[in-house]
Amino acid sequence: MNVIETTGLTKTYKGMRAIDDLTMHIKSNTITGVIGRNGAGKTTLLKILAGYIKETTGRVNVFSEHPFNSLYVSANSIFIDDQMVFPDALTLGELLKEGERFYADWDMTFAKNLFDYFSFHPNQRHKQLSKGKKTTFNMIFGLATRCTLTIFDEPTTGMDAAVRKDFYRVLLKDYLAHPRTILISSHYLDEMDHLLEDVLLIDEGQQVLHMPMDDLKAYAVSLIGPAAVVGQWLHDKTVLAKKQPAPGMMQAVVKKDFPIEQAEKIGIKTVPVNAGDVCIHLTAKTKGGIDDVLQ
């Protein structure tokens, strides 16, 4: 069953397309990474799915409903980001109690255990927290709702490395115990690739790829060898990037749609390419990298 479906989805701001003709679907009970560079359209897409903003053209369904102004979508989903605003009049302890009143599947024991673990005080107020503590509290609130659709937009902003590690661990353990559909947007893939089942990579509002994480990890290979040999080998390959690591040598990242033994037999060294680097290469500017700017 698909929790999310979009067809030809477009969102325009002042003539600029933040989302451009996006067609995709998200299956139920999966953790999907929405990956892309800054400004790729990740936040705009997630806010459309959460019902916060309305699309310009195209079709979008969440739980088989149009999400904008949908009470059903609102009651069964939550959108967590570092801009989340809570009422100033309520303490953190009172916010947890209000969460329990609003969300049918709220787990107060789970929320309080995390609340204590991360050293929050019930009488603190959200606006008085540091940036890292705010995002940590937002994470606790989002997970405790146990919403059928839980959306995290850059959830680790401001967190230190230890808290990020704890966040990923608790998210995965809680998901395994209570499966639901989780979307996590980020421009950092490597530190959370162990969480994800699927990856949706977008760039300039368009879908670049949407595939299982395991397939993305095997998507590309790096070829290293004499420039003449590697250059000839590339003539019928999908090249994602190439550079000259040393005089007379060439390194090329290519889509791995061929037996790598063929390259190794003629003296080309093959090196795996991690999923994060694949995403960087697929969304790189076609006119070269930073080294071209500095020439």
Residue 295 has a pLDDT of 56
Residue 290 has a pLDDT of 55
Listed residues 193, 216, 239: the one ending a domain = 216
- Please indicate, yes or no, whether residues 261 and 195 belong to a single structural domain of this protein: no
Listed residues 216, 236, 265: the one ending a domain = 216
Averaged pLDDT of the chain: 93
The dihedral sign for the CA sequence 192, 194, 196, 202: positive
Q: pLDDT digits over 29-76, tens only?
A: 999 999 999 889 999 999 999 999 999 999 999 999 999 999 999 999
CATH number, domain of 282, equals 3.30.70
- The count of structural domains within the chain is 2
Residue 292 has a pLDDT of 58
Record the tokens describing residue 104, joined without a space. Answer: 């049918």
Q: pLDDT digits over 106-140, tens only?
A: 999 999 999 999 999 999 999 999 999 999 999 99
- Please indicate, yes or no, whether residues 285 and 147 belong to a single structural domain of this protein: no
Residue that wins the pLDDT comparison between 289 and 212: 212
- Please indicate, yes or no, whether residues 71 and 166 belong to a single structural domain of this protein: yes
Q: What is the pTM of this model?
A: 0.92
- Please indicate, yes or no, whether residues 110 and 150 belong to a single structural domain of this protein: yes
- Please indicate, yes or no, whether residues 168 and 246 belong to a single structural domain of this protein: no
- Please indicate, yes or no, whether residues 199 and 85 belong to a single structural domain of this protein: yes
- Please indicate, yes or no, whether residues 177 and 231 belong to a single structural domain of this protein: no
- Please indicate, yes or no, whether residues 115 and 28 belong to a single structural domain of this protein: yes
Listed residues 216, 238, 270: the one ending a domain = 216
Q: How far apart are CA 249 and CA 226, in angstroms?
A: 4
C-alpha closest to that of 67 among 83, 45, 86, 82: 45
Q: What b-and-e string marks burial along 172-205, b requiring 16 or more CB atoms within 10 Å of the CB?
A: eebbeeeebbbbbbbbebeebbebbebbbbbbbb
> Does the pLDDT value for residue 188 go beyond 80?
no
Start-end of H helices in 77-160: 92-102, 108-117, 131-145
Domain of residue 12 covers: 2-216
CATH number, domain of 129, equals 3.40.50.300
